[in-house]
Amino acid sequence: MRRKRDGRHQSHASEIVNRAPLSPVPSPAAGPKLGHSGVGSSAKLRTMCASVAPALALCVAVSLSCTVTSSSSKPFSLGLAAQYPADKDLTKDPDVLYFGDFESASWYAEWGNTSKPENADLVEADTQRLFVPFQGRALRVRIVKESNVGLSSEYRFALHSAGEPEEIYFRYYLRFADDWRPIEGGKLPGPAGTYGVAGWGGRRSDGTNGWSARGSFSIPQNGVTPIGFYAYHADQPTEYGDVWEWERRRLGYLRNNRWYCVEQYVRLNGPSRRDGILRGWIDGQLAFEKTDVRFRTVDALKIETIWMNVYHGGSDVAVRDHHLYVDNVIIARRYIGPMNRGMPTVEPKSNLK
Ligand SMILES: [Ca+2]
């Protein structure tokens, strides 16, 4: 992806940015709302937690069917994760297809690799890059100086008993390291159905040959990295995909040295309809919605994979090493939402000049 003057990126100079229509109302796929004060002082958060805890318990007890609000708060959506404190026992939920916490050294086998990917390591400490664990070990992905590839692993649905779905939720925790300074946009994890034929790398989608909706990142501006979808679909105007940033309330503009709950939802369109859906949430808040996507014109194309991809560009290589971290990955049939946890970790300030 080539750098542009406004700091936004495209995968090629000929690409065109399509801005998605943003829904003015909360997503119907989102769960009930809970008052949330954001990251404040510990005392403030303890007070907030104490005040909403009974209501949260009640929400879970009534199958997440109520709405709880709090003054001076931002709502976020409760999902199935709210029923499993610290994500414990999530795999017992019948709607959870996969849970990965990167505590096992053989994590990569679950992602289609026969050996450990070269630029991916499990870390429990990484003070040089101001890493703070989310929950135990995390997957650290490195984009090496003078290269593009960080990671390209896949969860292929056909290899698992549930088969290839037509809609799926995918949630992971993401943290850009202190050295995250890409000079070009690139790709992040997300769903795809390329079948090795089309839907990535300039292999244009025509509705019959493949599609993808990986995550994207754009060039950081003013200390934040915009993320979004990078979509290959039947209506793409060029041979390269469209970048749809998660601009709603600027929720998709992420800082370094902070964990974010990133969740994606894709529902494939009916082959004869323009009703495919993409949604994105940050920390349980709807950050993006588009409901008129044509991923396909044939029924044979499904959701083939969750593509765990981290890639710098485009074509321009990284001018230095960049790192990011991933933890608590979940693939599920219904909205997942942020982890039900207690106190947030205190994040250090950057020491990068
Ligand atoms: Ca972990």
CA of 138 to the centre of ligand 1 (A): 5
CA of 135 to the centre of ligand 1 (A): 5
Q: Where are the domains of the chain?
A: 2-31+79-332
pLDDT of residue 353: 43
CA of 173 to the centre of ligand 1 (A): 10
pLDDT of residue 350: 59
Distances, alpha carbon 42 to alpha carbons 46, 49, 254, 283, in Å: 6, 10, 22, 18
- β-bridge partners, 243: 230
Percentage with pLDDT > 70 across the chain: 75
pLDDT of residue 162: 81
Among candidate residues 61, 92, 99, 60, the one with its CA nearest the CA of residue 79: 60
Query: E strands of the chain, at which residues?
Result: 2-3, 9-10, 33-34, 76-77, 96-100, 120-123, 138-143, 149-156, 167-176, 186-188, 190-193, 211-217, 224-232, 242-245, 253-255, 259-267, 276-282, 285-293, 305-312, 322-332
Report the amino acid identity of residue 292.
Answer: D
Q: Looking at 69-73, 172-176, 199-203, which range is the least confident one?
A: 69-73
Q: What is the pLDDT confidence band of residue 24, given thresholds at 50, 70 and 90?
A: very low
pLDDT of residue 341: 82
CA of 267 to the centre of ligand 1 (A): 28
pLDDT per position as a tens digit, 303-323: 999 999 999 998 899 999 999
Instruction: For residue 197, count other CB atoms closer than 10 A to its CB.
Output: 13
CA of 329 to the centre of ligand 1 (A): 9
pLDDT per position as a tens digit, 130-159: 999 999 999 999 999 999 999 999 999 999
Tell whether the model's pLDDT for residue 61 goes beyond 50: no
CA of 316 to the centre of ligand 1 (A): 32
Q: Which residue's entry shows tokens 């000079």?
A: 183
CA of 326 to the centre of ligand 1 (A): 8
pLDDT, mean of residues 268-280: 98
CA of 208 to the centre of ligand 1 (A): 38
pLDDT of residue 348: 54
CA of 103 to the centre of ligand 1 (A): 5
What CATH number does the domain located at 2-31+79-332 have?
2.60.120.200
pLDDT of residue 161: 80
pLDDT, mean of residues 293-303: 98
CA of 105 to the centre of ligand 1 (A): 11
Q: What is the pLDDT confidence band of residue 18, given thresholds at 50, 70 and 90?
A: very low
Average pLDDT of the chain, as a whole number: 82
pLDDT, mean of residues 335-340: 96
CA distance 87 to 80: 10
Q: Are 194 and 212 in contact (CB under 8 A)?
A: yes
Tell whether the model's pLDDT for residue 46 goes beyond 50: no
CA of 125 to the centre of ligand 1 (A): 12
